[in-house]
Chains A and B, each alone.
Chain A
Amino acid sequence: MTDVVVREPAGRMSPVRSLTPPLVAFAALIAITVLLAQLFPPLNDWPDGWVVPIRYWVTEAFAWLGEVAKPITRAIAWVLAKPLAFVEAVLYRGVPDWKVQPLPWVAVVAGVAILGHWIAGRRLAWFSGICTAYLAVFGLWPESMQTLSIVLVTVPLAAATGLGLGIWATRSARAERILNSVFDLMQATPHMAYLAPVVVLFGFGQVPAMLATLVFALPPMARCTILGIKTVPSDILEAGRMSGCTPRQLLWKVEIPAAQRTLLLGLNQVVMQTLAMVVIASLVGASGLGQKLLFSLQQLQIGKAVEQGIAITLIAIVLDRLTHAAMNRVPQRHPAGTPWYRRHAHLVTFLAVAAVAILLSRVIPGIGVLPRDMTLSFGAPINDGVRWISKNLFAYVKPVRDTLTIWLLLPIRDFFLWLPWPTFIGTLALIGWYLGGVRLALVPVALMGFIMIAGFWTPLMLTVYLVTCCTILAVLIGVPTGIWASRHPRGARVVNTVCDTLQTFPSFIYLIPVIMLFQTSDLSNVIAMLAYATVPAVRFTYLGMTLVPQATIEAAIASGTTPRQRLWKVEMPIAFPEILLGINQTIMMALAMVAITALIGSRDLGQEIYKALPGADTGRGLIAGIGIAFIGITADRLIGAWAKRRKRELGLV
């Protein structure tokens, strides 16, 4: 084995590629297809007569399935309703029949704080406690607890199922392949598209919301399980085997505990996804904060919406911090002979506080349920503020909005609407062929072609238009921000915190300020998407810039480059593949947001999903959702291939 294995050098030294032949090919393709479209109009838009009625088939299939599977779905719903009812009773409902009160809000707040202390000490305890208290003080307690109940019941279910699937995938290569491609599709499909089939099978309400959430939150857990188990150091595994573990003991006593950190990362993602989905599931009648926010938005009660939005955000941040800190929690060392109440000091304290609070609430009802007249609200001043903005500021905002719309958005929209479909699909296929051969060329043809044949060409193009606008702006904002952060370590910390915070917000929240400032318009949609989707552009640019080797930069300085030359001639080319991956993520997140912005009006695929909900038009909603996923997958494959190729050429892989 000490033989020198002669390998081909990693990046085969390709001669400098001339750009001329591909450019000629693209020009020729565009010219021919556009010309043909002039002569033969069906090439402009896919004619209605050619549409294959896939959506009706899907709708009917689901309707049939809903009918046939009714006993099963009823049974599932019945089983799932039990734990939910229990948690709801504890948190906010109580059991009126037996005159049992729910847990006093004081006890819940204390419980969250104690949990924070157990995980990461005093600071997290204060933070979590205060955030939870906000929910009560601002009179959003029952709604918040409703939302939290669904989260608390769904998270263990999703985590356990994800863990099981992940373990299965580590035991069978074929299972891993299948699960991976299913998860790819699932994660590229927007939240809302999960709702339509669930409505058909399970109807409206809390349990269907839970199910949609469960399915949506599974993949990250399964993925983290696979990753975690696969990266357990071989020494630890072998030590486990040599200790005489049976395969089952090896899994539960060695692999899973050793993968704990990655598994907790998975749990963190499950929690965040669950919360995001529960909010959106208000569209299928899940009551809670999401529903209240939806009503406020629809009635343009911005003040209330802000209060509710902050509540959702605080819940999200607290859950994120708690699960994240759990990942880094170090188990405490107890010297031998520590009494049990010291070992479990946190649990004991909580039980004591809860008992006292329950007893006191009999005497002072305010401890059990905060009375209405003791709650605060800043809804009114905010409403005034919004009114003031629309009266005074909107005069300034409007010209900006209109200029951007007329000079940037509309031309791009008209361009995409004009684009003949053979030109669009052909160009993507040619790019695929150029980057990765025939197989990659077939990806856009198959995926885009499917959506077109299913009759969603115009919404597809409108989606592409919004995403393109969003991506352009995200790159213009995100890449310079990332570069700036990479040069200013203190700025980097600020940028990082902002990015973290932006990513914890459930996507719904972004609609509030956008509506406040820009009212409903295409630009509002783009900006809401932008707020959500710029983060990866910043992050990956920063990462790419910091990955440039110090020696290379020093060599560039020694060669006498100006800072500007260094940026454009040295750092940017090396960071470029990383930036590409960031843009890829930006597109993914913009697509995820497309469905959400449908709530404030649009005509794209997101709107198709939204419109499909009330009528339970499964085919329409599902295919529109898959359409969004397909755009994502196409972009991901093409950009991924490009980035990989550049990395190989730079010798980075």
Chain B
Amino acid sequence: MKPTAKISCRNLWKIFGPDPEAFLARHNGAPRSEDFRTAGMVGAVCDVSFDVFPGEILIVMGLSGSGKSTLIRAISRLNDPTAGNVLIDGQDLLKASPEELVDLRRHKMGMVFQHFGLLPHRTVLSNVAFPLEVRGSPREERESRAMEMLKLVGLEGRETHFPRELSGGQQQRVGIARSLAVGPDIWFLDEPFSALDPLIRREMQDEFLRLQKMLKKTIVFITHDFEEAVRLSDRIGIMKEGRLVQLATPEEMISRPADDYVRQFTKNAPRDRIVSVGSIASAEVAGSAGDAIPASLKIGEVAARVLASDRPIAVVDSDGQTIGSVSRDRMIAAMFPESRP
């Protein structure tokens, strides 16, 4: 049985322009792109539905202006969606009163921002303790908790610094520590590493994966970098003009792109690290089972072996059962789809 969704987003709309509710009603709740253009409205999020399961990393990606930032602000209620539902543990976020919303943010949600959003007049420690401070934790308690968080992100010894004294990567570590201070189940990250240098970005991605392994949060992560999405995600959703074009695992997305737009994105993806042997195997059973390849391995891990072999090599599932074989031609076709004769 499928686990129940932690975050469940149903037919979410966020429309900018004068009187968006009336506009939506006029078009029976389903305006098309042309309708927006003629009315001079902007559909930032259009009819988006998805679930995020506990402990899952869902990455929403798209180009700038595709509505991904508006989407994460709609499901965190930083803006008010025009229509639809957002259920968090079954509670409708859009019906939450301001007080309930504050309470939810003080206990259940954390968010990391692209430009860090640190308070410039507070020390690192006081920044991290801020969410605890506003919910009224006593000083001792919140500072020891904040110290714990700073240790977690590797910033002990910096607690009396001010944000401007830190590098970008360190500032974002503070942002991460702050977002985790209240011990939220749900973690929103809005392009957290986009403002950082490539090398630091890589380091922070590893850091993120390390933290998630320990913490097992339910995550919605926004990025415009497909490689980042592939590296970090369980599932990826691709947005275009406010609509969710495809929601799938990276591998599905590469092997079965929903349309040309998605195909464009996946074109330069590191296929060797995404596509598994099982998905390129032919059904024909060949080769000896002795040196068979497990179906779950990525093709990059076995490419040398397959390409060096003149004959197809058997592929086995997790029970050791042969399910097919992979030949040199198939491997080349999978790794270099453009070079197909």
Contacts and interface: CB of A to CB of B under 8 A. Distances in A.
B114 interface: yes
A243 B114 contact: no
Interface in A315-363: 330-331, 333-336
Interface string A213-249: 0000000000000000000010111111111111101
Interface string B96-140: 001000110111011101111111111100000011011100000
Among A3, A244, A253, A335, chain B packs the most CB atoms within 10 A around the CB of A244
Contacts of B113: 235, 238-239
B118 to A, nearest CB: 7
A447 interface: no
Q: How large is the interface on B (under 10, 10 to 19, 20 to 34, 35 or more residues)?
A: 35 or more
A254 interface: yes
Interface in B126-163: 130-131, 133-135, 159-162
B135 A244 contact: yes
Contacts of B111: 238-239, 242
Given A1-B65, A235-B113, A243 B178 contact: yes
Given A2-B240, A3-B37, A235-B116, A335 B134 contact: no
A258 B119 contact: yes
A260 B43 CA distance: 36
B199 interface: no
A331 B44 CA distance: 41
Contact of A245 (B43, B122, B134): B134
B106 A244 contact: yes
A257 interface: yes
B119 A244 contact: no
Given A333-B160, A334-B160, A260 B121 contact: yes
B161 A243 contact: no
Which of A239, A330, A333 is most buried by chain B, counting CB atoms within 10 A of its CB?
A: A239
Interface residues of A, number: 29
Nearest to B179: A242
Contacts of B166: none
Nearest to A241: B78
Interface string B215-229: 000000000000000
Contact of B161 (A244, A245, A260, A333): A333
Nearest to B105: A244
Contact of B42 (A1, A238, A244, A249): A1
Contact of A1 (B76, B121, B188, B241): B241
Nearest to A6: B37
Interface string A438-475: 00000000000000000000000000000000000000
B266 interface: no
A236 B119 contact: yes
A27 B181 CA distance: 74
B250 interface: no
A245 B136 CA distance: 11
A242 B159 CA distance: 22
B286 to A, nearest CB: 47
23 contacts: A1-B67, A1-B241, A1-B242, A235-B116, A239-B113, A239-B116, A239-B175, A240-B119, A242-B78, A242-B111, A242-B179, A243-B105, A243-B106, A243-B130, A244-B107, A246-B134, A253-B133, A254-B119, A257-B121, A330-B162, A333-B123, A333-B161, A333-B165
Given A258-B121, A335-B160, 5 more contacts: A235-B117, A242-B188, A243-B106, A246-B102, A257-B120
Interface of A: 1-3, 233, 235-247, 249, 253-254, 257-258, 260, 330-331, 333-336
